[in-house]
Amino acid sequence: MILRQAQGIVIAIANQKGGVGKTTTAISLGAELAARGVGTLLVDLDPQANATAGLGVASRDLATVYDVLIDELPMAEIIVPTPQAGLDLAPSAADLAGAEVELVPAMAREQRLKRALEPIAGRYEVMIIDCPPSLGLLTLNALMAAEEVIVPVQCEYLALEGLGQLTRTLEAARRNLNPRLHLAGLLLTMYDGRTNLCQQVAAEVRRHFANTFATVIPRSVRLSEAPSHGLPICLYAASSLAARAYAAFAAEVVDACLPQRARVEAQP
Ligand SMILES: Nc1ncnc2c1ncn2[C@@H]1O[C@H](COP(=O)(O)OP(=O)(O)OP(=O)(O)O)[C@@H](O)[C@H]1O
Ligand SMILES: [Mg+2]
């Protein structure tokens, strides 16, 4: 049974708005996919390095994505394992903030990440990129490398604000630079079904964006605690509602983005 595609697919988790659940989604989805047997790499492309810390990796003495983008160190040389078997990490550190500026005069500056991932694409079925909260050169590198984009949206007042700009950026990237780029969908996060506001926001997002994932991620203390233990939610609180929600979301992502695997899994 051949499951592995010749080249893994690249999924960018992006939203220029801060604190909407990008990193939580990148870690939780990556760990869930790995737990299902999907070999996954998580690329931490944010100078805040929250995905790195959230997986219990101390990047102080490690080579990081910065060294890959600026000094063209091979991606394979920075990859480290994580507490979740089958999930590897390309760590980040604060110096990545400098890359945003240092890359400006560089040749093919928006293609650096894409080129760095090419030699290892055969090793993974999925490569997830956790983007920083901006639409700068780092996020542009992610959009050049990606086939799919997932946009987490926090269920709160003004949730739709900025989504117009984001979709226009995706459209421009697709038209001018990366015709393979596809918006896999929006993911509603931090949902609290007890509040009318959350329900209204969720309905409004779905009205504007038909390709919003059916799964909704609940607001969960367990999810906010997990990073301080260096564990993804599926290891920290496997039976929590939040872990089950991310498992359901991962199944949707397999259906939407990994059709070959979805067909095999569907067989009795
Ligand atoms: N479903 C949730 N329930 C409760 N807390 C959550 C949930 N999702 C994320 N959080 C918490 O909210 C904060 C922001 O989440 P996260 O870091 O994933 O957002 P982000 O979009 O990556 O932020 P940034 O834009 O700064 O990179 C974190 O403290 C995280 O633990
Ligand atoms: Mg983040």
Ligand 1 contacts CB of residue 21 (under 6 A): yes
Whether 268 has a pLDDT exceeding 80, the answer reads: no
Residue 17 alpha carbon, nearest atom of ligand 1: 25
Per-residue pLDDT of 94-138, as tens digits, reads 999 999 889 888 878 999 999 999 999 999 999 999 999 999 999
Q: Which strands sit side by side in the sheet containing 212-218, from one edge to the other?
A: 80-81, 87-90, 40-44, 126-130, 9-13, 148-154, 182-191, 212-218
Atom 13 (ligand 1): residue with closest C-alpha? 19
Ligand 1 centre to CA of 223 (Å) is: 8
Residue 24 alpha carbon, nearest atom of ligand 1: 18
Per-residue pLDDT of 44-84, as tens digits, reads 999 999 999 999 999 888 999 999 999 999 999 999 999 99
Which one, of 167, 258, 175, lies nearest residue 205 by Cα? 167
Tell me the whole-structure pTM to 2 decimals: 0.96
The answer to whether 141 and 44 have CB atoms below 8 angstroms apart is no
Ligand 1 contacts CB of residue 215 (under 6 A): no
Residue 1 is predicted with a pLDDT of 45
Residue 189 alpha carbon, nearest atom of ligand 1: 1
Confidence class for position 199, pLDDT limits 50, 70, 90:
very high
Ligand 1 centre to CA of 152 (Å) is: 10
